[in-house]
Amino acid sequence: MLELKNLSVHIGDFKVVDISLSIKNSSIHAILGPSGSGKTILVETIAGFHKPCGGRVFLEGVDITAHAPEWRYMAYVPQDLALFPHLTVKENIYFGLTARGGDNETLKRNADAIAESLYIKTYFDRNIATLSGGEKQRVALARALATGNKILLLDEPFSGLHPGLRKEFWFLLKELQNRHHLTIIIITHDLEEAFFLGDHISILIDGMVHQSAAKEKSRIPKDKTVALFYGIRNIFPGIFSEQTLLIPTLNLTLPVSDCWKTQKENGKRVDVGVRAEDLIIYDTERIHGVLNLSPEVISMPTVRGKITACFEKGHSATVIFSPINSDIVLEVEIPYHKVQKLCGKKRTDIAAVAIPPDRIFILESHEEAM
Amino acid sequence: MRITVGLKRTLIINALGIFCLYFLLVVSVFYFFKPSISLSILTSSRTIYSLGLSLFAATAATLIAIILAIPSAYALSRYDFRLKPLVDAFLELPLVVSPAALGAMVLIFFNNPVGSWINEHAGNFIFTVSGVILAQLVAVLGIAVRLIKAVMDEVPVRYEHVARSLGASPYYTFKNIVLPICKGGVISASILTWAKAFGEFGATITIAGSIPNKTETLPIAVFMRLSSADIEGAVVMILLSVIIGLGILYIYKRLSGHKGIPDA
């Protein structure tokens, strides 16, 4: 177990403040955040490159805050991979073995096996400059693993790859993690990457951890900052009133749910959010005819309005929906097979958006109760 | 597009103008060039000694300067320490103080108790070959540090981070990662340092004097021959200096491989 306790670092214009995280062995912990949030500084401090101005780092209960990087046994892969340009692929991979002063045969065999499993052996003697982006990624991973380190610190290592190759490396990393029982901390600003790879996800914004939870619980943002970072734009003001939640801008009154982990006293103002992909949009004119909606959808709180815009994204589309008698808009994500049906509609046609109550979340608000 | 082409032409004409200025200076010395006596001047023991001393002293001063500059440049490039701005400013001393003043400072130093002790026990530097090397060293050391620091600044610190995370000690990382990556830049810096040392005059004549067949380097030989109205002799020395200096700089340009940005 790798533990960060109240870790604070300040380097130039960047800082991270009071970070406390527990990273379980043989798990992938994704640290997700926008650019400039302090992700790199945090991981570099864990690696031992920066001296924290407060807090401690523990590895298996041992305080390693003062340990030099070479004595932490954590392999670091930066965003640009930093493959040593004056060494061949083989020399890069063997670097850690010779640096530790032992040309240990077992370690060499292990390094060779890793290189073999990553299909690197065919270009073992090539110069780094001649490798493609994907080949460089493989060499960087092999170099990190060759020393036998069980902790891997990855700083956006796949950000330079095209989507197809990036996905390939996600599967590869998962496979390597399973095979070698690695503990991986991966830094990313890509939500899909964090959710694909991470067993646990921590959201770092402006140098502070806003949310840290297992992947299953990370889907729901805890506060508005995280919601906005997730790209959730369906955020509306709400007020608790007599066991109901009023959302005035949508003309909706919802029964209070036990899932909402917030105090629900009368008059308390909150921000209410719902993901675009959780909303169900349908054509009201055909509701009693061709379209066969489930009773569950029909029973959901519904907002009527018009589709004002539709943005196709290849695999899905974002629909902009304007509720009647409201100046706000709802963003709805629809799968590609519905694009033709819905996006082809006239902009004046009435449609409806059903809001599944269990998908509504309450964002922590610092406003006082009325 | 038209403006870009116009600017490009103006800039190139400017560069060619500067070339013409220096080229004219070099060509003008041929007015006093006498092939009949040049060979005898060139093969005279005094010239050969001056040339040999210049090559030897510049090489020695460069070697010492580079050996001292590499760790200093690394420290200035990578670490923050209390006196760093002061150290950084003092590196410019050879540029802001005239070489003669720099040489005079060394002479004054050897006249204080510490300097006198060094002069007596660690070798005499006044009017000796050691003095020539010392003068050139003082004149080029700051520049060598500045040049090598610029090279090291260009090497991302992430290489060192990765090496350390793979188990390398700071010394192992410096020796096996930083130095090899900087190799080309350090060689280029050494060549420039050597060229500067080779042409050094003011500090050298102040510390080592101008004793023929003892401390007379090529630049001092030019001055001495001019002083004695031996224009033809001075011209031969000048041409020798130009050929060696430009030859070395040509090698530097080839090594550093700087090319212009190709047209879009």
pLDDT digits (tens, 9 = 90+) for B106-141: 989 988 888 888 888 878 888 999 999 999 999 999
Is the same domain home to B75 and B124?
yes
A99 to chain B: which residues are within 8 Å by CB? Answer: 163, 166-169, 172-173, 176
Do residues A123 and A89 touch, judged by C-beta distance below 8 A?
yes
Domain ranges of chain A: 2-220, 276-354
Q: Total domain count for chain B? A: 2
Q: Which residue of B has its CA nearest to A72?
A: B165
Q: Dump pLDDT digits (tens) for A311-339.
A: 888 888 899 999 988 888 999 998 887 77
Burial class (CB in 10 A: 0-12, 13-18, 19+), B28: exposed
Which residues between 42 and 61 in chain B have a beta carbon less than 8 angstroms from any beta carbon of chain A?
none
Domain A276-354 in CATH 2.40.50.100: yes
Is the same domain home to B131 and B174?
yes
ipTM: 0.85
Of chain B, the percentage scoring pLDDT greater than 70 comes to: 95
Is the same domain home to B161 and B198?
yes
Helix (H) or strand (E) holding A320: strand A316-323
Tens-of-pLDDT digits for all 264 residues of chain B? 556 668 889 999 999 999 999 999 999 989 888 888 888 898 999 999 999 999 999 999 999 999 999 999 999 999 988 888 898 888 888 888 888 899 999 989 988 888 888 888 878 888 999 999 999 999 999 999 999 999 999 999 999 999 999 999 999 999 999 999 999 899 989 999 999 999 999 999 999 998 989 999 999 999 999 999 999 999 999 999 999 988 888 887 877 665 555 444
Is the same domain home to B117 and B218?
yes
For residue A175, give both structure tokens: 């496979």
Closest CA to A218 of A241, A191, A245: A191
Q: Is B166 on the interface with A (CB under 8 A)?
A: yes
Is the same domain home to B19 and B93?
no
For residue B263, being part of any structural domain is answered with: no
CATH assignment, A2-220:
3.40.50.300
For residue B244, being part of any structural domain is answered with: yes
Burial class (CB in 10 A: 0-12, 13-18, 19+), B11: exposed
pLDDT tops 50 at residue A370: no
Q: Is B176 on the interface with A (CB under 8 A)?
A: yes
What CATH number is attached to the domain comprising B187?
Answer: 1.10.3720.10
Average pLDDT of the segment spanning A131-157: 91
For residue B95, being part of any structural domain is answered with: yes
Is the same domain home to B22 and B39?
no
Is the same domain home to B152 and B173?
yes
User: How far is residue B73's CA from residue A242's CA, in Å, rounded to a whole number?
Assistant: 71
B163 to chain A: which residues are within 8 Å by CB? Answer: 84, 95, 99
Q: Dump pLDDT digits (tens) for A165-215.
A: 899 999 999 999 999 899 999 999 999 999 999 999 999 999 999 999 999
Is the same domain home to B21 and B52?
no
Q: Which residue of B has its CA nearest to A92?
A: B163
Closest CA to B188 of B243, B247, B248, B134: B248
For residue B264, being part of any structural domain is answered with: no
* Host domain of residue B13: 1-32
For residue B69, being part of any structural domain is answered with: yes
User: How far is residue A331's CA from residue A90's CA, in Å, rounded to a whole number?
Assistant: 51
The DSSP symbol for A348 reads T
Is the same domain home to B27 and B77?
no
Q: Is B214 on the interface with A (CB under 8 A)?
A: no
Is the same domain home to B172 and B111?
yes
Whether residue B166 and residue A75 make contact (CB cut-off 8 A), yes or no, is: yes
Q: Dump pLDDT digits (tens) for A273-292.
A: 999 999 998 877 655 555 56
Whether residue A76 and residue B176 make contact (CB cut-off 8 A), yes or no, is: no
Burial class (CB in 10 A: 0-12, 13-18, 19+), B114: exposed
Is the same domain home to B131 and B142?
yes
Is the same domain home to B11 and B94?
no
Q: Is the Cα torsion angle B86, B89, B92, B96 positive or negative in sign? A: negative
